Amino acid sequence: MELKKYLQYSKFDSGLASVLTAIAQGSILIQKKISRLSLEGLEGSTGTKNIQNEDVKKLDILANDIFLEKFQESKNVAMVGCEELEKPQIFNNSISKFLINMDPLDGSSNIDVGVNIGSIFGIWNENIDHSLNENSLLKPGKEQIASAYVVYGSCTLMVIASEKGVQCFTLDTQSGSYILSKDNINVPEKCKYYSVNYGNFENFSSNLQNSLINLQNIYSLRYIGSLVADFHRNLLEGGVFLYPKDTKNPNGKLRLMYEANPLSFIIKKAGGIGTNGTKNILNINPTTLHERVPLIIGNSDVIENILV
């Protein structure tokens, strides 16, 4: 079933369906650019830094611009926040209904070497009783009404989580449409993998080091280095992704609003959990748009035994 027909069949709110369609349309354009990365001169950096003081890739900017354009065209998005914008983008549209936090291109360091990358989106209802300002996007993850991510890899996949559960759609490059390929996704009861950057091992707490030693005696290590790609494998196969705090990053490295919150919403709908090590990610009250947070996410029973 095509995405458009699925959204109609499942009786999604028309505004939310419009937003999800905008994500799908934008991701298809980005997939085409990725497939011609070298041919169109889209490799490499712009030579600038984003608000996180990270190198900005050419494709980062392109992806950001594409999604902003599609959200504006949908006429259902009031405001968008992301790591490529210091301040949120506000759309002055009388019928807008939703707030979005996004990572337009996750895994940017992998762009030029052909490794999986992705896009991440958290979707909240607009508070129509208040005028929009920079703090309007600072809502806890538990208030999301939907979230989604796209994986650009051996095939292009779009995963959506909402009150309808978690669904995966595969892009049919011949028709240019997303087709439902997995419905009602749940995290497998049996955990197979754990994903962590062992290059940070010496900077982890002794408790976490001991937890990792226990994990490596039970599960297989799989680590791509693209959050979306690692998360997607673990969602389908069973696993835990860890990017905890360490002595160099005491507040964590990943972003709460446009990485941890959307993926924690998805994993909850699939029967797992996302935590910062002490607190459920979805219960954190954000203080800034670009706030960083530790993230441990995946099979709940395994995470319960991880000490940080």
Give the per-residue pLDDT at 308: 85
Per-chain mean pLDDT for the chain = 93
Per-residue pLDDT of the chain (308 residues; tens, 9 = 90+): 999 999 999 999 999 999 999 999 999 999 999 988 876 877 777 767 676 666 778 899 999 999 999 999 999 999 999 988 888 999 977 677 899 999 999 987 888 887 899 999 999 999 876 788 889 999 999 999 999 999 998 899 999 999 999 999 999 999 999 999 999 999 999 999 999 999 999 999 999 999 999 999 999 999 999 999 999 999 999 999 999 999 999 999 999 999 999 999 999 999 999 999 999 999 999 999 999 999 999 999 999 999 88
Range(s) within the chain of domains with CATH label 3.30.540.10: 3-182
For the chain, helix (H) and strand (E) counts, in that order, are 7, 17
SS3 string, 38-88, reads CCCCCCCEEEEECCCCCEEEHHHHHHHHHHHHHHHHHCCEEEEEECCCCCC
Give the per-residue pLDDT at 260: 98
Range(s) within the chain of domains with CATH label 3.40.190.80: 193-303
Give the per-residue pLDDT at 49: 67
Give me the residue label for tokens 């319960």: 304
**Do strands 239-243 and 193-195 pair parallel, antiparallel, or not at all (unpaired)?**
parallel
Q: In terms of CATH architecture, what is 3-182?
A: 2-Layer Sandwich (3.30)
Which class in CATH covers the domain with range 193-303?
Answer: alpha beta
Token pair for residue 13?
Answer: 């709110």
Closest CA to 230 of 148, 151, 303: 151
Which residues are CB-neighbours of 207 under 8 A, at least 6 positions away?
307, 308
